[in-house]
C-alpha cells in the first residue's frame, strides 16, 4: 500500500504498517517536526529522566536544548506517575544511592584492595622469589616492591576517585529540577492506582498493552524482594490518556476546533508492548531492504492508537526515542550553538547503544585487546619486519602486572619519516601504494559501519599496527575516524597506559601522529575549520608525556603555520584561560552583565552576545550552569580542564544562580579552536 506521509502521525494504521514508507533520515526529520509543531503536546517517560544520569555534562546540555523547545511554549509535560517513579528510585529504593545511577564505577572502586590489606596478603602468600619477580616488573629493588605496589594501587584509587565527576548525582538531580520544573504536573496518584487495580490484570490476561512484559516485576526472585511497579507502564499510559483528553477540551478555541493537539511521547522504551517494528522500511537510496536493521525505528502499537482515539477523539499520537529526535534536530538546525551540544548528546546515546549491542551479540568474541594496553606492532606484515622486544605482538592478559620498563633518553627525539603520500585527503588514503598491505583495514575503518569498523579495530588490537611508520600513520588516521563514529575500542589503541620512561617505537609514534593529523587536517597544509574532537584530548595529553617527543614534534611542525589560530599547540607552553563573569544582584536574582575570556598574549573576547534568532530563544537557557560552561570552554579551546578558570567576583554563594540578560546567551563558540583567521 502506498500513501502520502505528511507527518509522523500519518503512520498510525488500524492494524499497523508492514512497510515503513520512510527512510531513516525521513523518519528522524518527521520526529523533529512533530516536536517543534506548536500543536504538539509532548510527554516524557521516566526513562528520559534516567537517561540524564548516563550523560556527561555537555551531552546533558544537548538533551536539555531539545526539551527546551516544547518547554518554552508550555507544551512539555512530565506526568505525575513519572515523578512518582523518579522519587522512588532517587530516595526510596533500598540499598541504592540512586536507582538511576550507574553502579559500575562504584563496583570497580570497591573491588580495589586497601593498601594495608594488600601488604598483609603479600606478606602471607608471596615468597622472596615472588617479591623479586614483582620488583623486577616494577623496576625497583625487592625491599621497595611492597611499598611501590601500594603506591600504585593508591594512585589508581585516587584516579578512579576523579572519574565520573560529570555524573555526580546531586548535579544531575539539580539540573533536572532546574530545567524541567515547569513541566511537572500534579495528579491524583491514588485514582491512578485504583484504575490499575481495576484494569491491569484484565488487560494482561487479554494481551492488551502496555505492561505485558513486566509481570515478573511483581514476583520475588529468590531471597530478594519483588522489584514492584509491574504496572508502571500502564499507569503512565492511563495518565497520558487522561491528560490528553483534558487538554483536547481545554486547549481548543472556536477558531481551532478542527485542529486538535497532537501527542508526542518521548520514551527510551524498547519493549514490544508499547511499540511494534515494521517488517520493512525504505532505505536511503529509495530501495527496500529486508528485516529492519535499525531496531530503534519503531511505531506505537495500533491497539494503543485505537484506545487513544476512543478517549481523545483523534489518532495523532506517536512514541519517539531521543536518538531519532536528536538526529532529526541536527539535520534541521544548522546553528553552531545547537549543533555542538546536541551532537555530543547523540554521540553519547549512540556510544551507549553500541556498547549494549556488542554485549547482546550472541557468540561474538570479545578480544583480549579490549583492555587498555600499549600498541603492539604487526610483525607478520610487510616482509616480516620484526617488532622490538619491548613491544610484544601479543596482548597482555587482563590484570597482568605492567611489563618491565626500559629507560630511555627522553631528549633524544627522532624525526618521524612520514611520506606526504599518506597525508592526502581521507577518501584517497586506501589507494596509496604505501598502504597496500593494509587496504582492507583502512577501508573498513572508514566505512562508517559498526560491524566492519569493529572487525578492523579487532585486527589492529590483536595483530598490531604496521611496523613501517608510513603505514602506521595511515592506519592511525583511519582509526581516529572510526573513533569519531563511536568505535569505542579504538580509544584503547590511542589511550593505552604507556609507562613513563619506556621506549616508544617509530610505529607507535606514527600511529598516534596519524590520529592527531586527522583531527586537525583534511590533507597536508589544509587545516580543518572544525577539528575532530572525539578522543582528541586523550591524544594531546599522550604526546605531551615523556617518550613521545617525535610525535609531538611532528604535529607541532604541521600546526606551526597556523599557531595564531590556537591558544596553544603541542610542544608549546599552556597558559590559563581566565573567564571573568561580571554580575550584579537584582531582586532575588544575580544578573550577568559581561562574560570575558582572557588568555595571555591575546585580545580579550566578550562571550555574552545577543541571541541571533527566535529559535535560539527556545533552546538556549536563561541561566548559567558553571560546570557546563567550563566543560564547553575546555573542549572548544583544546585546553585541559585545569587550565580553564572561571572567576565570579563578589559572589559568596557556593552555587549561585546566574541569570542572563533577556535575549542574550554565552557564545562559547568564540573560543573554539581553530580561531578565525
Q: Judge contact between 105 and 161, C-beta under 8 A.
A: no
| pLDDT value at residue 196 | 93
Give the percent of the chain with pLDDT over 70. 79
- pLDDT beyond 70 at 377: no
| pLDDT value at residue 305 | 97
Higher pLDDT, 284 or 460: 460
pLDDT digits (tens, 9 = 90+) for 419-428: 999 999 999 9
- Helix (H) / strand (E) element for 65: namely helix 57-72
Instruction: Tell me the pLDDT band of 228, cut-offs 50, 70 and 90.
Output: low
Return d(Cα 284, Cα 261) in angstroms, integer. 31
- pLDDT beyond 90 at 543: yes
> Could you tell me how many helices (H) and strands (E) the chain has, helices first?
23, 18
For 62-76, 454-468, 475-489, 499-513, which range has the lowest pLDDT when averaged over its residues? 499-513
Greatest mean pLDDT among 216-225, 282-291, 360-369, 567-576: 567-576
Q: Are strands 526-527 and 521-523 parallel, antiparallel or unpaired?
A: antiparallel
Q: What is the side-by-side order of every strand in the sheet holding 262-266?
A: 76-77, 40-44, 262-266, 317-320
Q: Judge contact between 66 and 35, C-beta under 8 A.
A: yes
pLDDT digits (tens, 9 = 90+) for 98-116: 667 655 566 666 667 777 6
| pLDDT value at residue 94 | 54
Distances in Å between the Cα of 101 and the Cα atoms of 15, 41, 271, 481 are: 39, 29, 21, 31
For 112-121, 213-222, 223-232, which range has the lowest pLDDT when averaged over its residues? 213-222
For 449-463, 616-630, 633-647, which range has the lowest pLDDT when averaged over its residues? 449-463
Residues in the chain: 677
Return d(Cα 96, Cα 105) in angstroms, integer. 14
Average pLDDT for 443-460: 89
Distances in Å between the Cα of 442 and the Cα atoms of 121, 434, 481, 551, 556 are: 47, 12, 10, 21, 25
| pLDDT value at residue 370 | 33
Site of grid cell 572561571: 646
pLDDT digits (tens, 9 = 90+) for 561-586: 999 999 999 999 999 999 999 999 88
- pLDDT beyond 70 at 483: yes
| pLDDT value at residue 164 | 61
| pLDDT value at residue 367 | 35
| pLDDT value at residue 489 | 82
- pLDDT beyond 80 at 160: no
pLDDT digits (tens, 9 = 90+) for 253-279: 444 555 789 999 999 987 777 899 898
Listing DSSP states for 97-148 in one string gives: S-TTS--HHHHHHHHSPPHHHHHHHHHHH--HHHHHHHHHHHTS-HHHHHHH
Average pLDDT for 477-490: 88
Instruction: Tell me the pLDDT band of 663, cut-offs 50, 70 and 90.
Output: very high
Name the region of 405 (left: φ>0; alpha: ψ -120 to 50; beta: rest).
beta
pLDDT digits (tens, 9 = 90+) for 521-535: 999 999 999 999 999
Instruction: Tell me the pLDDT band of 474, cut-offs 50, 70 and 90.
Output: very high
Mean per-residue pLDDT of the chain: 82
For residue 265, the cross-strand partners are: 43, 319
Give the percent of the chain with pLDDT over 90. 54
Determine whether 316 is exposed, middle or buried from the number of CB atoms within 10 Å of its CB (0-12, 13-18, 19+).
Answer: buried
- pLDDT beyond 70 at 507: yes
- pLDDT beyond 90 at 443: yes
State whether residue 153 is helix, strand or coil.
Answer: helix
pLDDT digits (tens, 9 = 90+) for 394-410: 333 333 333 333 333 44
- pLDDT beyond 80 at 542: yes
| pLDDT value at residue 400 | 35
Query: Measured over all CA atoms, what is the biggest interatomic distance in the chain, rounded to whole angstroms?
Result: 91
For 293-297, 492-496, 599-603, 622-626, which range has the lowest pLDDT when averaged over its residues? 293-297
- pLDDT beyond 80 at 414: no
Return d(Cα 448, Cα 451) in angstroms, integer. 9
Instruction: Read off the C-alpha cell for 533.
Output: 574532537
- pLDDT beyond 50 at 481: yes
Q: Judge contact between 434 and 379, C-beta under 8 A.
A: no
| pLDDT value at residue 391 | 30
Confidence (pTM): 0.79
Q: Judge contact between 580 and 649, C-beta under 8 A.
A: yes
Amino acid at each position: 500500500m502506498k500513501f502520502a506521509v505528511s507527518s509522523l502521525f500519518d503512520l498510525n494504521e488500524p492494524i499497523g504498517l508492514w512497510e515503513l514508507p520512510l527512510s531513516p533520515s525521513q523518519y528522524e526529520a518527521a520526529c523533529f517536526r512533530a516536536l517543534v509543531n506548536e500543536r504538539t503536546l509532548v510527554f516524557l517517560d521516566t526513562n528520559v529522566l534516567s537517561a540524564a544520569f548516563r550523560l556527561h555534562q555537555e551531552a546533558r546540555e544537548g538533551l536539555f536544548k531539545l526539551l527546551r523547545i516544547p518547554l518554552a511554549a508550555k507544551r512539555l509535560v512530565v506526568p505525575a506517575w513519572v515523578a512518582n517513579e523518579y522519587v522512588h528510585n532517587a530516595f526510596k529504593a533500598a540499598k541504592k544511592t540512586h536507582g538511576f545511577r550507574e553502579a559500575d564505577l562504584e563496583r570497580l572502586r570497591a573491588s580495589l584492595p586497601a593498601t594495608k590489606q594488600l601488604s598483609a596478603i603479600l606478606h602471607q602468600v608471596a615468597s622472596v622469589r615472588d617479591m623479586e619477580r614483582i620488583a623486577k616488573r616494577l623496576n625497583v629493588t625487592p625491599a621497595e616492591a611492597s611499598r611501590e605496589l601500594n603506591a600504585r594501587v593508591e594512585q589508581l584509587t585516587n584516579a578512579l576517585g576523579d572519574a565520573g565527576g560529570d555524573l555526580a548525582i546531586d548535579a544531575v538531580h539539580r539540573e533536572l529540577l532546574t530545567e524541567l520544573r515547569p513541566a511537572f504536573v500534579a495528579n491524583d496518584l491514588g485514582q491512578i492506582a485504583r484504575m490499575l487495580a481495576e484494569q491491569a490484570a484484565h488487560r494482561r490476561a487479554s494481551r492488551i498493552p502496555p505492561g505485558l512484559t513486566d509481570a515478573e516485576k511483581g514476583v520475588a526472585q529468590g531471597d530478594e524482594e519483588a522489584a514492584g511497579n509491574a504496572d508502571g507502564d500502564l499507569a503512565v499510559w492511563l495518565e497520558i490518556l487522561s491528560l490528553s483528553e483534558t487538554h483536547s477540551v481545554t486547549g481548543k478555541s472556536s477558531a481551532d476546533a478542527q485542529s486538535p493537539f497532537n501527542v508526542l511521547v518521548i520514551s527510551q522504551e524498547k519493549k514490544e508492548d508499547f511499540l511494534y517494528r515494521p517488517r520493512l522500511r525504505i532505505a536511503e537510496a529509495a530501495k527496500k531492504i529486508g528485516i529492519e536493521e535499525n531496531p530503534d525505528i519503531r511505531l506505537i502499537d495500533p491497539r494503543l492508537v485505537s484506545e487513544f482515539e476512543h478517549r481523545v477523539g483523534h489518532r495523532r499520537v506517536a512514541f519517539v526515542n531521543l536518538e531519532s529526535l536528536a538526529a532529526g534536530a541536527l539535520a534541521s538546525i544548522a546553528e553552531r550553538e545547537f549543533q555542538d551540544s546536541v551532537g555530543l548528546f547523540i554521540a553519547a546515546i549512540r556510544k551507549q547503544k553500541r556498547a549494549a549491542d556488542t554485549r547482546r551479540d550472541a557468540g561474538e568474541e570479545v578480544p583480549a585487546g579490549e583492555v587498555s594496553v600499549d600498541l603492539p606492532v604487526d610483525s607478520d606484515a610487510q616482509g616480516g619486519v620484526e617488532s622490538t622486544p619491548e613491544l610484544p605482538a601479543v596482548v597482555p592478559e587482563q590484570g597482568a602486572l605492567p611489563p618491565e620498563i626500559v629507560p630511555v633518553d627522553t631528549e633524544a627525539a627522532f624525526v618521524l619519516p612520514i611520506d606526504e603520500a599518506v597525508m592526502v585527503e581521507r577518501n584517497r588514503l586506501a589507494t596509496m601504494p604505501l598502504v597496500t598491505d593494509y587496504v582492507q583495514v583502512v577501508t573498513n575503518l572508514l566505512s562508517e559501519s559498526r560491524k566492519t569498523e569493529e572487525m578492523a579495530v579487532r585486527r589492529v588490537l590483536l595483530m598490531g599496527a604496521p611496523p613501517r611508520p608510513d603505514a602506521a600513520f595511515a592506519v592511525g588516521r583511519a582509526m581516529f575516524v572510526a573513533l569519531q563514529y563511536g568505535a569505542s575500542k579504538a580509544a584503547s589503541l590511542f589511550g593505552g597506559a604507556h609507562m613513563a620512561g619506556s621506549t616508544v617505537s617509530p610505529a607507535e609514534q606514527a600511529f598516534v601522529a596519524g590520529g592527531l593529523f586527522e583531527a586537525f587536517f583534511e590533507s597536508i597544509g589544509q587545516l580543518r575549520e572544525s577539528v575532530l574532537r572525539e578522543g582528541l584530548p586523550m591524544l594531546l595529553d599522550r604526546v605531551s608525556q615523556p617518550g613521545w617527543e617525535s610525535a609531538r614534534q611532528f604535529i607541532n611542525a604541521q600546526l606551526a603555520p597556523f599557531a595564531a589560530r590556537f591558544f596553544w599547540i603541542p610542544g608549546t607552553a599552556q597558559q590559563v584561560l581566565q573567564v571573568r563573569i561580571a554580575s550584579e544582584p537584582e531582586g532575588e536574582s544575580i544578573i550577568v552583565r559581561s562574560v570575558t575570556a582572557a588568555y595571555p598574549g591575546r585580545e580579550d573576547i566578550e562571550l555574552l552576545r545577543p541571541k541571533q534568532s527566535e529559535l535560539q530563544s527556545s533552546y538556549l537557557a536563561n541561566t548559567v550552569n558553571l560546570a557546563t560552561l567550563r566543560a564547553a570552554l575546555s573542549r572548544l579551546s583544546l585546553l585541559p580542564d585545569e587550565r580553564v578558570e572561571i572567576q565570579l567576583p563578589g559572589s559568596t554563594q557556593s552555587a549561585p544562580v546566574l541569570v542572563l540578560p533577556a535575549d542574550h546567551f554565552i557564545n562559547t563558540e568564540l573560543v573554539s579552536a581553530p580561531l578565525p583567521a
